Structure 1
Amino acid sequence: MWSRRLAPGVLLLPLAFLVFRDAPAGIVPPAPAAVGPAAPRGLPQPVIVSRASWHADEGLVKEVPRYTGAAKAVFVHHTGHSNGYDCADAPELIRGVQADHVRSEGWDDIGYNFVVDRCGTIYEGRAGGVARPVRGAHTKGFNADTVGIAALGSFGAGTTVPKALADGIAKVAAWKLRPGTDPRGTVELVSTNDESLYDKGETARLHVISGHRDSYGTRCPGEVLYALLPVLRDKVAALRAKTGRQIATARLRPTL
C-alpha cells in the first residue's frame, strides 16, 4: 500500500496502513548498469511498460539494484489511489509513488517490482531488470526471493477489481515464479525483520501468492482484492499449466 504522504497532483484515498521496507543497509551511489543472476527459463515474458516509457526519475534512485534467488512467492499489494483514474494517467501516478517512496519514506527507489493498472497494463517497478530477481522493498521481512506486485487503486470493501487488472497480476505472477512452484500451494520463508508479523529468523508458512496483510499488520491489498487471491492462484496455475503443455507439444513435433 502506498505511504501516508501524497505527491502533488495525485488523487488518493486516505490511507491508514503503510508499506514499509527492510531498513536500508546504507546508501550506495547508483551504478550505470547492474549485473545480476540470469532469470530462469520458463514462461514467455508478458508485455511490460519499461521505466523509460513511464519516465521513472532515475535521479531519485539511491542504490544499485540488489538480487536474490528466483521468486518463491508473490506478495500482492494495492497503492491506495482512487479507482476512477484514466489509464492514460497511470504513468504519472506511478511517478508519484516513486517520488513518495524515496522523498517521503527515505527509500532507495519505488518499492514494488511491478505495478498493474485497472486496464491490465503491467509496469516495471523497481530498477534492475524485469527478467532478473530484483530484491524489492514491498513486504517488510520478506523481500528476499519474492516479487511484489501492486494493483494501482484501492480495493477495500465496496469496490470491485477489474478483470483486466486481475489478469495482469496473474500474467506477471505466472511468469516470475520459479519453475516447479505450485501457485496454489504454500512456501516457507524466513523473516529478516522483527517488524513484520514474524520475528527475525522465524520461519513463516505462507501462500505462494499472498497478500501483504499475511506477513505485516496492514489491510493491504484491501478486503476485495484479498478475497480474490484464491481466484488469482487458479489463474496463475492455469497459465503455467497451459504453457507447460505448449512446450511439451512443441518438443514432440517432428522437425522437417
Structure 2
Amino acid sequence: MSVLSRWKARLRVRRNLLRAARRRHEANPTPESRRVIDDRKEQVAYAERVVERHDRDDRPRIVNLDLKPREGSQLSPQGTLRAVTGHYTAGPVDQTDEQCEALLRGYDRAHKAKGWTMLGYAFAISRAGTIYLGRPATAIGAHVLNQNSGNVGIVCNGTTGDRPTAAQARSLRWLLANAHTDALPKAWRVDLRGLPVKGHNDWMATACPGSFKRMYTSKGTKR
C-alpha cells in the first residue's frame, strides 16, 4: 500500500471518529466531549493536509490538447457510463512527451479526415506517464464500432509487440481512480471507478490493444 493510500485510510478513520464524537456530544454535551471534538477536528485537518500534499505529488502531469471539433460538426453528450476501453494507436511509440503530443495531433487530423468530429479517444497516456486530454469524456467517443455510447476510450502510442511502461501503468491506475475529481477539467470529469476495463479486441476482432491489454484489464496493477 502506498503512503497516499495509507493516509487516505487514516483520514477515513479519523472522519468516522469525529462523527462519533459529535454524536456523543449531542447526546451528552460536556466540556470533555467538546475537547474530544476539537482534538478529532485537528487530527482530521492534519490528515487532509497530508493527503492533499501526497495526492499532488502522486498526480501525473496532465496536458489538455485543446482540440476542436471539425468545422460544421458537433459532439453528442455521453450516455450512462458502462465501460472503459483501452487501445493502441497501431503506430510508433513516443520517445518524448513532445513526440507524443505531435502524434496525437496527427491522429486528430486523421480522424477528422475520415469525417469524424475529432480525435476519437478521451484520454491518451505517454510512455513518460503524462495524461493527455483529447475528445471530452462527457461526449460520446469514436473508438469502438457501434459500442461508443457510455464507453470511454484511452489510448497509448504503439502497435503489436510494444509494451507499456511502468509510468503508463501508474498513470492509468491514477486516472481510473481520480477522473471524477477536480484534478481534471469539467469536460473530462467522469467517474470511472468500478467500471469494467476492456481491450478493444474484447468488443470486436482486432489486434488492438496488443500487449497493452494486460495493463488495461488489470487496471494498471501488477498481477
The code of the aligned residue for 1:212 comes to H
Aligned residue in 2 for 1:215: 203
Coordinate RMSD, CA, aligned = 2.8
Secondary structure (helix, strand or coil) at the match of 2:86 reads strand
Percent pairwise identity: 27
Give ranges in structure 1 of 5+ residues lacking alignment: 1-42, 184-207, 236-256
Structure 1 segments, 4+ long, off by >6 Å, are 43-46
Select the residue among 161, 164, 173 that pairs with 1:170: 173
The answer on 1:48 being equivalent to 2:62 is yes
1:121 matched to 2:130: yes
- Whole-angstrom distance in 1 between the partners of 2:192 and 2:94: 38
- 1:1-256, aligned counterparts within 5 Å? 47-52=61-66, 56=67, 58=68, 60-83=70-93, 85-103=95-113, 105-126=114-135, 128=136, 133-154=138-159, 156-157=160-161, 159-176=162-179, 181-183=193-195, 208-222=196-210, 224-232=211-219, 234=221
**Cα distance in 1 for residues equivalent to 2:203 and 2:151:** 13
Is the contact between residue 147 and residue 176 of structure 1 (CA under 8 Å) also seen in structure 2? Answer: no
SS where residue 148 of structure 1 aligns?
Answer: strand
Letter in 2 for 1:227: R
Q: Which runs of 5+ in 2 are unaligned?
A: 1-54, 181-189
Aligned CA distance change for structure 1 residues 146 and 118 (closer, same or farther; 3 Å): same
- For 1:146 and 1:113, locate their aligned partners in 2 and report how far apart those are by CA, in whole Å: 10
Structure having the higher helix fraction is 2
1:61 CA drift (Å): 4.6
Equivalent residues of 1:71, 1:176 under 8 A apart: no
Aligned pairs, how many?
A: 157
Note if contact 1:209-1:233 (Cα within 8 Å) is conserved in structure 2.
Answer: no
Distance 1:176 1:112 in 2: 15
User: Is residue 60–residue 130 contact of structure 2 (8 Å, CA) maintained in 1?
Assistant: no
Quote how far apart the aligned CAs of 1:166 are: 1.7
| Kept in 1: contact 2:169–2:220 (CA 8 A) | no
Q: Amino acid of the residue matched to residue 95 of structure 1?
A: R
**TM-score, with normalisation over the residues of structure 1?**
0.54
1:244 corresponds in structure 2 to none
Letter in 2 for 1:209: V
The amino acid that maps onto 1:116 is: I
1:120 alignment partner AA: G
